[in-house]
Structure 1
Amino acid sequence: MNIGDRVRLLHGNEEGVITKISNGGRIEIEIEDGFRIPAMKNEVVIISAAERQFFGDGIKVEESKSFDPKSSKENSAEGVYLAYIPINDKDHSIYLVNQSSRAYLTMVSEVFGDNSRTIVAGELVARGNKKIGEKSIADFEEWPTLLCQFFPIHTKIEKTQPSFERRIKFKASAFFKSKRKVPILDKNGYLFKLTENIKEIDITELNEELKSISQTAVDTKFPKPEKNIDLHIEKLTKDYPFMSNAEMLKLQMDTFERNLNYAIAHGMDQITFIHGIGNGVLRKEIHKHLSQLKNIKYFQDEQKSPFGYGATLVRIS
């Protein structure tokens, strides 16, 4: 029994997808409309693929077949897809699959609130694919929103095709129902069509936005930071109850790096970052970053009141 399996309760009519497995035989099941209910492993039974297909619950897995670009049936499903293909029972490779006759310039980013990280940028060839990363189903709840942007490549004079983008945040109930044959790659996986419900990108508006950002960067002076920067998450955002651990750490590290750069730019000789004790992950990441910088004289745990051991003093050269 694994995360992603579809199960039925033995003493009820509910069916759903396993989203979490805990110690002691406890599991969490996401049923229709996104509701989640707890259960014990011995209280549920896995619904087999044969049973689903016979009774018709709408989760039919397509039969394996090779992709033929000349097939009218395959051509009817032309478009750009996002595919998650299992490596083992937990890890999945992520692919962009272009089942169309047009190439695109592509950029895919992971979005963390107001921050983002580009994970791939480049050309997605016609009738081709590009691997963009790997994810573990065990971390499903912490997967960030994906922003996928596509700019069509015109190799001849023709009508200009619109650029488009999709933002994707998965729910378990939808994700695990999407298992089917992935075109081009000819493998079974979880498949999502990106050329449905698209939002066109206004190139003029995008250029104005980039121009504005560039002008602001030139005109804005770096603010001088305080001598003590508190990185406790509740000091940085009111939305922390809705953030994953990865998102909170990303925000804390961004705040740390930004203020350190400001301190260096203003010629400050030292700055202290208050990170608390906790599980030590933030402290470890801060010390790792500082150890790679050449313009730092040294850094050390700040032991004096009021921070105890929950702060790091940075001496700037």
Structure 2
Amino acid sequence: MNFKLGEFVRFIDENREGYITRIIDEQIVGVTGDDDFEIPVAINNLARVHGHSTGFEDDEELAIEDKLVALENFKEKGIHLAFIPDTNKGSLVHFYLVNETSFELFFTLNSLAKEVYKGEFSGKMEPLSITKVHTAALSELDLWPKYLIQAISYTSLNIKPLKPIITDFKFKAKDFADSKKDIPFIKQQGWLVQLDEPELKIDVQKLKESFFNQPKTEKKQTEKPQREVDLHIEKLRADFQFLSKAEILEIQLKEFETKLDAAISHQFTDMIFIHGVGNGILKNHIHKTLGKHPQVRTFKDAYKEKFGYGATEVIFKT
């Protein structure tokens, strides 16, 4: 198979085109067009569209021109794995190795799924550079294999080489919970995982003191919530596109229960939860909880002219 994830292709026997968003097997791939519907297509019915922009510059254009770094400015830390959503199809994410150090790096990426190893990338990286090493489908995050990473460093200068990096990752949605950051050397945002974390240094004296000093007990105060609480998942988590429907519902219900308890703690008389219409599952769970809650007097659809049937107003007992 010559086609890869993220490539732009055109159908041979009909006027249709799109991006390859899934590799089904050696003969069939999934293609997603402008309508965002993915359809399986035989590879012998596809033609690659040459010269079509993917939204990412070639690695050679991303490399910093000055490769030789003066000894006094030599940088020894800053090796990351970056995850950048595709600019054309957000259902794909590109893996980039980011080398912010002054070392040359020799890098390999392998995957392990069902006890089968597969080489995904190998190559040399220049100092202060970035290179794409892999592409995966976000919709299949739960099916991602374990990724095995190895890297060794080299410089002709009088600098001690880094310890070889040998690590592995099995990614889950929670690993992308943090907000996106600017990725070095490229005008894109994504998530960063540092591969050369410094070794943990233990302060023995402070460790001893922790055994003898009684920790102070701090009384936790419940933060006062807003009277209108928006439970739409994009308002609660930056990584919502990585989450399954079950995970989204769990997060929304937890936020609802937390804000409900906080409102009661601060003696609110009423509160509005914006849950949207959707398929009605979230609304039904909320109404079921409110119907059994001892501190709730009643609840109703809130301001239909503003929210339609997508919000619930809660009236508390006073």
Structure having the higher Rg: 2
**Smaller-chain TM-score bracket:** 0.3 to 0.5
TM-score (ref. length: structure 1):
0.36
Report 1 or 2 for greater relative contact order, CA contacts < 8 Å, sequence distance ≥ 6: 1
